[in-house]
Amino acid sequence: GESVGLHLPTLSVQEGDNSIINCAYSNSASDYFIWYKQESGKGPQFIIDIRSNMDKRQGQRVTVLLNKTVKHLSLQIAATQPGDSAVYFCAETRWGSQGNLIFGKGTKLSVKP
């Protein structure tokens, strides 16, 4: 039979603007969260992580926000560049899970020059 893939949410932004990508995670027991970037034909690339005892963490041009009350993660990219165009996945895991990451559906970010 025909295989139907997921239709990814798409975010289209102008170069130089800020981007916000959202993710709802599934397990209230999850205590470690990671954002990955996946470019076409490549594996997931680590961007930033956050533990559940924090609600905000900043990296270079990226910020992750964690709201445990509503089980929500967001990734903010400042001054978005064409090289940021990719699919972005959030992933969650919990202590003792032996690295079993649960990935979200992904959001496709398109940056218009």
Partner 1 sequence: EPEVTQTPSHQVTQMGQEVILRCVPISNHLYFYWYRQILGQKVEFLVSFYNNEISEKSEIFDDQFSVERPDGSNFTLKIRSTKLEDSAMYFCASTTVNYNSPLHFGNGTRLTVT
Q: Of the two residues 11 and 101, which places its CB atom closer to partner 1 in the complex?
A: 101
In whole angstroms, the minimum distance from the beta carbon of 14 to partner 1 comes to: 27
- What pairing do the DSSP bridges indicate for beta strands 86-93 and 107-112? antiparallel
Question: SS3 letters for 53-89?
Answer: CCCEEECCCEEEEEECCCCEEEEEECCCCHHHCEEEE
Q: Rounded to the nearest whole angstrom, what is the least distance from the CB of residue 109 to partner 1 in the complex?
A: 16
What is the smallest separation between the CB atom of 31 and partner 1, expressed in angstroms?
8
Instruction: By CB under 8 A, name the binding residues for partner 1.
Output: 3, 5-6, 8, 32, 34, 36, 41-46, 49, 51, 89, 91, 95-106
